[in-house]
C-alpha cells in the first residue's frame, strides 16, 4: 500500500480503473509523457498511456489498453460534470475520419471515451494533424504534433508489458477496519465538512489499498485517507520519508515544495510529511502524518485542492486541522492520549 493512493484519487489519471504505474516503463516524446500500468487489485497489465498539456488548460490522454481498445480522456479543472454522467461524443481527425461513442465523466473535471476501432483510430491519431472533440457540452481541438512517435512508443510499451503481472502489496495486521473508519470519521469531524462521501470498498480495493478508508468532499476541495502500510523489523519511521515524498510528488508535473518533521510530543513515533504541488491552474497541498505501530505504519493524509475558483477550507489553518486530526487518531489508538 503506497502513500500515493491519495494523489491517485486526487488526479484520477487512470481512465476509470485504479492502476499502479509499472516501474521503469516511463517514456516521453516532445510534449507527451507516458508509462505502463497494472491493475492495483489484480496486478495484471491494463494499459499504457500518454498525456500532454495544452495552453487552454486541457490535458489530453491517450491509452492503448490490454483488450485492444483505445481510450481518449480530457481533464480540465474548469469542467463541471456530474460524476458518472454519460453523453454522446464524437472524435474527428482533421475533419475527415470520425469515431463516435459515449463518454463518461470520471469526475467533475474529467471525461473519458473508450473506442474499439483500434487500427483505424490508432492510424488516424498517428497521421493526423488535429483532433476535434465534439459533444453536447464539450468542444475541443488539439494538435496531434508528436503523436506518431509517442503512440508508437505507447504501443511498444503495451506489447512489452502485455504479460506483465505483479502481486499487489498486502498488509497483515491485527487492527480492525472499523478502527480506520473511526479515525476517518474523526478526520471529517475536525474539518467540519458535512457533504462528504466514502469511497466504496470496491473502489478502495481497486486502489490496491486493503486496510484503507478514503473519503472526499468535492465542495470543500478535500480528499482524506487512513491506511496501514507494512514495515520491516528494525526500520526507523524516518527511513522511508524520501520514498513517501517521492510517491506524493510522482504524479505532479508542476512545481513541488516538500518537507518533513518529527512530532516530538506524540505518544508513539510520529512524523509529518507536507507536500505542495502547484500545477497551472490547480494546487494540491497534502499533509500526512505517519505513526509507527506494532509491525505497521498508520497514515492519515489530507489533501487540500485549490483551484482558481475555490480555495479549500478557506480561512482555516491547515496545519492546526492536521494536528487536531493526528491527536484524534492517537486517541483511538491510545485512549489516554491527549
Quick one: DSSP state of residue 137? S
- Whether residue 185 is found in the same domain as residue 320: yes
| Residues 50 and 110 both lie in one domain | yes
Residue 141: per-residue pLDDT:
95
Classify residue 277: in a domain, yes or no.
yes
* Domain end marker among 110, 134, 161: 161
- In whole angstroms, give the CA distance from residue 108 to residue 93: 26
Separation of alpha carbons 302 and 274, rounded Å: 10
Phi/psi of residue 306, each to 5°?
-100, 135
Tell me, yes or no, whether 292 and 326 share the same domain: yes
Range of the domain at 156: 23-161
CATH of the domain at 229: 3.40.1000
Q: Are residues 122 and 202 in the same domain?
A: no
Grid coordinates of 279 = 500545477
Around 329, how many Cα atoms within 13 Å sit in the side-chain half-sphere? 31
Instruction: Tell me if residue 186 falls in helix, strand or coil.
Output: helix
Is 298 within 8 Å of 228 (Cβ atoms)? yes
Residue 9 located in a structural domain: no
Distance in angstroms (rounded) separating the CA atoms of residues 209 and 85:
26
Domain end position, chosen among 102, 128, 161: 161
Distance of alpha carbon 174 from alpha carbon 172, whole angstroms = 7
In a domain, 4, yes or no: no
* pLDDT string in tens for the chain (338-residue length): 344 444 334 333 334 345 678 888 999 999 999 999 887 556 778 899 999 999 999 999 999 988 888 999 999 988 988 877 888 999 999 988 899 988 888 778 889 898 888 999 999 999 999 999 999 889 999 999 999 999 999 999 999 998 886 654 444 345 667 788 888 898 898 888 888 988 887 777 666 566 688 888 888 888 898 888 777 667 788 888 887 887 777 777 788 899 998 988 767 888 999 999 888 788 889 999 988 887 778 889 999 988 877 777 676 788 888 888 887 777 776 544 44
Identify whether residues 141 and 231 lie together within a single domain: no
Based on the domain organization, do 234 and 279 belong to the same domain? yes
> Does the residue 279 lie in any domain?
yes
User: Is residue 168 in a domain?
Assistant: no
What strands, in cross-sheet order, belong to the sheet with 296-307? Answer: 197-198, 212-217, 222-230, 296-307, 282-292, 270-278, 255-262
Is residue 241 left, alpha or beta, with left meaning phi > 0 and alpha meaning psi from -120 to 50?
A: alpha
Is 148 in the same domain as 37?
Answer: yes
Q: Which among 113, 135, 161 is the end of a domain?
A: 161
Length of the chain: 338
**Strand-strand pairing, 282-292 and 212-217:** unpaired
What's the structural domain count of the chain? 2
Q: Are the CB atoms for 123 and 148 separated by under 8 Å?
A: no
The alpha carbon of 266 is separated from its chain's Cα centroid by a whole number of angstroms, namely 30
Q: Do 150 and 238 belong to one domain?
A: no
Question: Which helix (H) or strand (E) element contains residue 93?
Answer: strand 86-93
* CATH code where residue 50 lies: 2.60.40.1880
Q: For residue 16, tell me if it sits in a domain.
A: no
Same domain? 136 vs 225: no
291 and 147 within one domain:
no
Q: What is the dihedral of CA 143, 124, 59, 36, to 10 degrees?
A: -130
96/181 same-domain check: no
Does 228 map to a domain? yes
If you ran DSSP here, which 8-state letter would residue 169 be given?
P
- Residue 100: predicted pLDDT: 92
- Same-domain check for residues 109 and 182: no
Residue 300 located in a structural domain: yes
Amino acid at each position: 500500500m503506497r502513500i500515493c493512493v491519495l494523489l491517485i484519487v486526487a488526479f484520477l489519471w487512470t481512465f476509470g480503473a485504479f492502476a499502479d504505474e509499472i516501474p521503469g516503463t516511463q517514456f516521453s516524446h516532445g510534449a507527451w509523457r507516458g508509462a505502463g500500468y497494472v491493475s492495483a487489485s489484480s496486478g495484471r497489465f491494463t494499459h499504457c498511456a500518454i498525456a500532454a498539456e495544452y495552453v487552454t488548460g486541457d490535458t489530453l490522454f491517450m491509452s492503448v489498453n490490454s483488450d485492444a481498445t483505445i481510450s481518449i480522456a480530457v481533464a480540465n479543472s474548469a469542467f463541471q460534470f456530474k460524476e458518472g454522467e454519460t453523453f454522446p461524443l464524437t472524435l474527428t481527425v482533421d475533419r475527415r475520419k470520425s469515431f463516435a461513442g459515449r463518454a463518461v465523466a470520471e469526475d467533475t473535471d474529467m471525461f473519458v471515451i473508450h473506442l474499439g476501432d483500434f487500427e483505424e483510430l490508432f492510424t488516424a491519431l498517428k497521421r493526423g494533424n488535429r483532433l476535434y472533440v465534439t459533444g453536447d457540452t464539450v468542444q475541443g481541438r488539439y494538435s496531434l504534433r508528436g503523436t506518431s512517435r509517442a503512440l508508437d512508443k505507447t504501443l511498444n510499451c503495451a506489447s512489452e508489458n502485455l504479460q506483465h503481472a505483479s502481486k499487489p502489496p498486502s498488509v497483515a495486521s491485527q487492527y480492525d477496519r472499523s478502527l480506520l473508519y473511526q479515525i476517518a470519521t474523526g478526520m471529517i469531524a475536525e474539518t467540519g465538512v458535512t457533504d462528504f462521501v466514502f469511497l466504496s470498498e470496491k473502489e478502495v480495493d481497486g486502489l490496491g489499498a486493503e486496510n484503507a478508508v478514503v473519503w472526499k468532499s468535492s465542495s470543500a476541495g478535500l480528499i482524506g485517507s487512513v491506511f496501514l502500510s507494512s514495515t520491516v523489523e528494525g526500520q526507523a519511521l524516518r527511513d522511508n520519508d524520501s520514498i513517501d515524498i517521492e510517491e506524493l510528488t510522482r504524479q505532479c508535473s508542476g512545481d513541488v515544495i516538500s518537507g518533513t518533521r518529527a512530532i516530538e510530543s506524540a505518544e508513539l513515533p510520529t512524523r509529518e510529511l507536507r507536500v505542495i504541488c502547484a500545477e497551472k491552474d490547480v494546487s494540491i497541498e497534502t499533509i500526512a502524518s505517519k505513526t509507527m505501530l506494532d509491525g505497521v505504519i498508520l497514515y492519515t493524509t489530507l489533501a487540500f485542492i485549490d483551484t482558481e475558483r475555490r480555495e479549500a477550507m478557506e480561512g482555516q489553518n491547515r496545519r492546526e486541522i492536521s494536528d487536531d486530526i493526528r491527536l484524534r487518531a492517537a486517541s483511538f489508538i491510545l485512549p489516554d492520549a491527549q
